[in-house]
């Protein structure tokens, strides 16, 4: 009894988290299949489901999620986190855990994260520690969360020590990505997601890079862009498959791994990206936008070291420009950004590791000591001056 909806769904398997892994369902209207997906993925004894969301997403999609879960026989309640990065706090984890306890969420019950990466990280972490771990489903509603944050099992919150430094690896039992939800997403959130998609192609898949860039070019050239169409759904599924492959090869980001399938290559653009977020107090850039600049700076560094051809750097720059307009960054001090980058957690044994490119589709990690300070400063200045702003 395959409905029209189910026929157009793409399914991607993530081989991580035990029991043969889990499935990502991608497509327009996937939210209507949430209950069905929950039945397939959760413990048959599961009775109670807590939907964790924020007010905005809940107002838009909460009812659809609830209806689908109810129809599948679950007792549904919901807990709303405040919107925004600051919601990823231990205090909110505590509040969510209190709510789970009040609602009698048992070992076999589950949590559903309905929202962007903030909700996914927070709800996933609360699920990881409630009774030492209950199942959770990711229902990502931002582009960034659909292609990146919802896949791979990293959950966590921010503390005084920094972003994402407290957390757990807790793979979801399933991911349901409804591409229709992207229709209500603010344009900057789309730009941020597109930047992370460019990153995927840049570090590990030249064809995926070209396909993403061509999609963005067509979208930019279209007078009445149908922002969300079947082609975007297909592309999102390809990006999920890419991330799934990396996660399966390196589920817990083993520090020694440096190969092409290391999870660490996904940090491309993030050393400077995180620094840009930090020096602007997380107010100016969406995370993905900062990564857009971070990739260009890393590209400039790679070119300065003679690793990357100028034409490849131009190709990267062109793709980022197609992702959308980024907030300006040319007023920021290179020195300050370097200081913030040095405090980034991607440093290992005191040395910052830079993910650079040899070419589009192939990443290479380089120790900070191998990069002359002057080249670094110049690369930052050049990257932040990029015509993307
Ligand atoms: N766990 C991981 O592997 C991983 C990977 C990448 C990023 N992240 C984390 O993800 C977070 C960023 O996530 P994000 O970019 O999705 O931002 P977000 O979760 O902050 O969401 C952005 C805003 O969009 C709103 N929103 C969400 N869906 C909407 C929709 N369909 N329509 C209208 N508005 C909508 C939200 O209310 C929010 O205000 C960061 O905290 C980052 O650390 C985690
Ligand atoms: Zn990122």
DSSP state of 84: S
d(CA 354, CA 342): 11
Among 189, 239, 278, 344, name the best residue to mutate to test ligand 1's pocket (greatest count of ligand atoms within 8 A of Cβ): 189
Segments in the chain below pLDDT 50:
1-2, 389
- Which domains does the chain possess? 4-184 (3.40.50.1970), 193-205+254-384 (1.20.1090.10)
DSSP state of 332: S
Q: Are 82 and 54 in contact (CB under 8 A)?
A: yes
Q: Are 179 and 28 in contact (CB under 8 A)?
A: yes
pTM of the model: 0.95
Total Cβ atoms within 10 A of residue 206: 14
The pLDDT value recorded for residue 345 is 54
Q: Which ligand is nearest to the CA of 169?
A: 1
Q: Which ligand is nearest to the CA of 152?
A: 1
Distance from Cα 196 to the centre of ligand 2, integer Å? 6
Q: Which ligand is nearest to the CA of 89?
A: 1
Q: Are 243 and 152 in contact (CB under 8 A)?
A: yes
d(CA 129, CA 173): 15
* DSSP reduced 3-state for 362: strand
pLDDT digits (tens, 9 = 90+) for 4-38: 555 589 999 999 887 789 999 999 999 999 999 99
End-to-end CA distance of the chain: 50
Q: Is 184 in the pocket of ligand 1 (CB under 6 A)?
A: yes
Going by alpha carbons, the residue nearest to atom 7 of ligand 1 is 149
Q: Are 385 and 314 in contact (CB under 8 A)?
A: no
Q: Are 199 and 295 in contact (CB under 8 A)?
A: yes
Distance from Cα 369 to the centre of ligand 1, integer Å? 34
């Amino acid at each position: 009894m395959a409905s029209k909806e189910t026929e157009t769904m793409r399914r991607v398997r993530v081989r991580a988290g035990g029991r043969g892994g889990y499935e990502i369902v991608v497509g327009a209207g996937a939210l209507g299949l949430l209950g069905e997906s929950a039945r397939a993925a959760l413990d048959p004894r599961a009775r109670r489901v807590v939907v964790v969301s924020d007010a905005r997403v809940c107002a838009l999609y909460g009812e659809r999620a609830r209806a689908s879960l109810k129809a599948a026989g679950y007792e549904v309640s919901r807990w709303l986190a405040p919107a925004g990065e600051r919601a990823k706090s231990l205090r909110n984890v505590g509040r969510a855990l209190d709510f789970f306890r009040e609602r009698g969420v048992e070992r076999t019950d589950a949590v559903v994260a309905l929202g962007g990466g903030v909700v996914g990280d927070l709800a996933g972490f609360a699920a990881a520690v409630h009774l030492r771990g209950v199942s959770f489903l990711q229902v990502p509603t931002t582009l960034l969360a659909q292609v990146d944050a919802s896949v791979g099992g990293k959950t966590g919150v921010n503390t005084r020590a920094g972003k994402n430094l407290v957390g757990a690896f807790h793979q979801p039992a399933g991911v349901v990505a409804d591409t229709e939800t992207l229709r209500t997403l603010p344009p900057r959130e789309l730009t941020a997601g597109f930047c992370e998609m460019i990153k995927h192609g840049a570090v590990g898949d030249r064809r995926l890079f070209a396909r993403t860039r061509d999609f963005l070019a067509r979208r930019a050239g279209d007078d009445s862009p149908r922002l969300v169409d079947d082609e975007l759904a297909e592309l999102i599924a390809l990006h999920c498959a890419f991330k799934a492959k990396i996660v399966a090869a390196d589920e817990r980001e083993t520090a020694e791994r440096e190969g092409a399938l290391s999870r660490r290559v996904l940090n491309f653009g993030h050393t400077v990206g995180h620094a840009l977020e930090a020096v602007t107090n997380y107010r100016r850039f969406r995370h993905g936008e900062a990564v857009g600049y971070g990739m260009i700076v890393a590209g400039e560094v790679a070119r300065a070291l003679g690793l990357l051809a100028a034409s490849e750097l131009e190709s990267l720059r062109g793709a980022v420009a197609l992702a959308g307009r980024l907030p300006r960054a040319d007023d920021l001090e290179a020195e300050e950004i370097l200081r913030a980058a040095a405090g980034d957690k991607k440093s290992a044994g005191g040395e910052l590791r830079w993910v650079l490119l040899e070419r589009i589709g192939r990443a290479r990690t380089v120790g900070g000591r191998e990069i002359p300070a002057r080249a670094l400063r110049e690369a930052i200045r050049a990257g932040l001056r990029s015509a993307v702003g």
